[in-house]
Structure 1
Amino acid sequence: MIRLALLATALALPLPVAAQAANRMIEPVGQWEIDSDDESCTLVRSFTALEPGDTTMFIRSWGPFTAFRVSVAGPTMQRDDSRAIFARASFGEPEEAKDIVAIGSSYRSGPMVAFQGRVDDTRNGAGTNAFGSFIYHLPERPDVNIAVPFTWEATQLYFDGSAMAPQTLRLDAMETARTLMEDCERDLMSEWEFGPPDQTGFARAPVLENPQVVGERMRFPDNVIVNHSSRIVQMRFHVGADGEVLDCEIQYPNWSNGNRRRSCREISDTAEFTPALDATGAPIDSLYRATLFLIRFD
């Protein structure tokens, strides 16, 4: 049985003694590059752990501001396909690391870990673009943290999984990476017909009032439930000036059209939004993005 809860405070879980090994430094190869599709922008860079270019880091955005999906694939990562991984991570020094839950997966037949990087940015507070996150998990683990504070001033990523040696990816200065990402995100907003992601001139972002109910309406594929898999799901909504959902898109994963249509239909009928307001206090159309975490510990 799984249940829905709002994202809570961090869970303090000490890692096994075996994981407290020497911190492996992983050096970059080449520069950041940007890739994109109709729903996302992804920064990609290669690193060297054991052999040149054997590790890849992805920073993926499904729209401007607030959060990224951060993934690292390589031979020294922890393999635990579609399962929750207790870890410590920071975009800083090891002593700054926070207890988090990451999700194990694979990339080109090798192990990969993924978690959320949260951007603390004053632009997130108001405007026609808002972000929310909510989490499914088993009752015996009620308090979990899935987000690591991220800043574009970060020069390294430290990650220490429950069944892997701690390691640090050296990022160096990320000004160019930030420019690539923000240009790509601006193009995304234009493609979605929301114009450039300028947060000025708006008094209030849209607010989803019933995230638990929305999460319960998500129609996960049968194999996800049967296999007790963990998943990160990205969604976006076009919210009308009356608070009604005018459009819904399951941005990730790339499930069947049937699953995505059923989920969006039920979510759109159920979601209760308080609409965004412009500078004069008038309700306006807006974009609301959300991340849903299905976390299974069994």
Structure 2
Amino acid sequence: MPNLAHAETVVLEPASPWLMDYAEDSCALRRAFGAEGQEVVIELRQFQPGDGMMFTAYGEPLRTRMRPALFRFEPVGEEQSRENAQLLEVEGFGRGITLDISLHPVADGEAEAEPETVAVRETREAAMTGISISGILREETVFQTGSMAAPVGALRNCMDELLTHWGIDVEAHRSLQRQVEPKDYDGWVHTIVNTGFPRSMIRRGENAIVRVRLIVGTDGRAVSCHIPIAIGHPDFEEAACRTLMDHAKFDPALDANGDPIESYWVTSIAYRTS
């Protein structure tokens, strides 16, 4: 049985070690929590280097509801509120949730400070020993992960290896003067909404969320498009890549010498009929 810290908090202990998923387009840490036969699995998946990742939890014991999600790396992380958290049904595992989170978020209302040193970040990650979720779950649930230092380090190593498979110069990307920056992003959104939404999906009232990765050349144009993950009909995947390949323009990444370098850009597109 889960340990009840108080009437509305469920605390789950690990039921397995962390497992690394070396996927073609992403890296993920996965671990089971809870009593035998009542496990809840959590996953932290990255689609590009950095602090951003997708958190997913699934298992029959979860009691979900349509509410914003409140996420926190305990006890040192900032609370993160996510209005766009999604409910899932995972075949063979039951209900679940998924949301985008950050390993080192900036507190609401605060300007982003100067970049922290690696040592400061690693110290904070070592002090992270749990993950709490509430709002979207009827009971606040705390996953007792233990120190996140080693798991996060393994995730970073996986992402470095993945970049080499994409043809990206990992060492050059450690000292970029500028990352890929989109031009006229608002114009893309207008195009996606008005001309890039599959008409057949509008008639059927279908929605989707599509995560897209573009390889961006030294001239600022998209060289290739990949869909690491999508929730919805496959027509949305084709539409997302077609629209971005036709209309997306960027300022290319610059290496340490200020020269353009081939790089990548990742985004998510939410298709909504209402």
TM-score normalised to structure 2 length: 0.76
Structure 2 unpaired stretches of 5+ = 1-5, 106-111, 116-123
1:87 and 2:93 aligned: no
Alignment RMSD? 3.3
1:265 and 2:249 aligned: no
What letter matches 2:74 in structure 1? G
Structure 1 unpaired stretches of 5+ = 1-19, 126-150
* Aligned match of 2:265: 288
Question: Which gives a bigger RCO, structure 1 or 2 (Cα 8 Å, sep 6+)?
Answer: 1
* Aligned match of 1:55: 40
Shift of 1:210: 2.8
Identity across matched positions, percent: 20
Shift of 1:187: 2.0
Distance (Å, rounded) in 1 between the aligned partners of 2:205 and 2:76: 34
**Is the helix fraction higher in 1 or 2?**
2
Distance verdict in 2 for CA 1:232–1:173, change over 3 Å: farther
1:168 and 2:142 aligned: yes
Q: Contact 1:56–1:72 at 8 Å: present in 2 too?
A: yes
Q: Contact 1:189–1:197 at 8 Å: present in 2 too?
A: no
Larger deviation: 212-221 or 280-289? 212-221
* Aligned match of 2:18: 32
Distance verdict in 2 for CA 1:258–1:171, change over 3 Å: same
Distance verdict in 2 for CA 1:56–1:227, change over 3 Å: farther
Distance (Å, rounded) in 1 between the aligned partners of 2:244 and 2:179: 19
Q: Contact 1:69–1:117 at 8 Å: present in 2 too?
A: yes
What letter matches 1:120 in structure 2? H
Partner SS for 1:188:
helix
Shift of 1:98: 3.8
Question: What does residue range 213-252 of structure 1 map to in structure 2 within 5 Å?
Answer: 213-215=187-189, 216-217=191-192, 219=197, 226=204, 229=207, 231-252=208-229
1:178 aligns with one of 112, 129, 152: 152
Q: Contact 2:180–2:253 at 8 Å: present in 1 too?
A: yes
**Is the strand fraction higher in 1 or 2?**
1
Distance (Å, rounded) in 2 between the aligned partners of 1:295 and 1:172: 38
Shift of 1:35: 1.1
Shift of 1:59: 0.7
Distance verdict in 2 for CA 1:95–1:62, change over 3 Å: closer
What letter matches 2:54 in structure 1? R
Q: Contact 1:79–1:105 at 8 Å: present in 2 too?
A: no
What letter matches 2:103 in structure 1? V
TM-score normalised to structure 1 length: 0.71
Distance verdict in 2 for CA 1:42–1:220, change over 3 Å: farther
Partner SS for 2:67:
strand
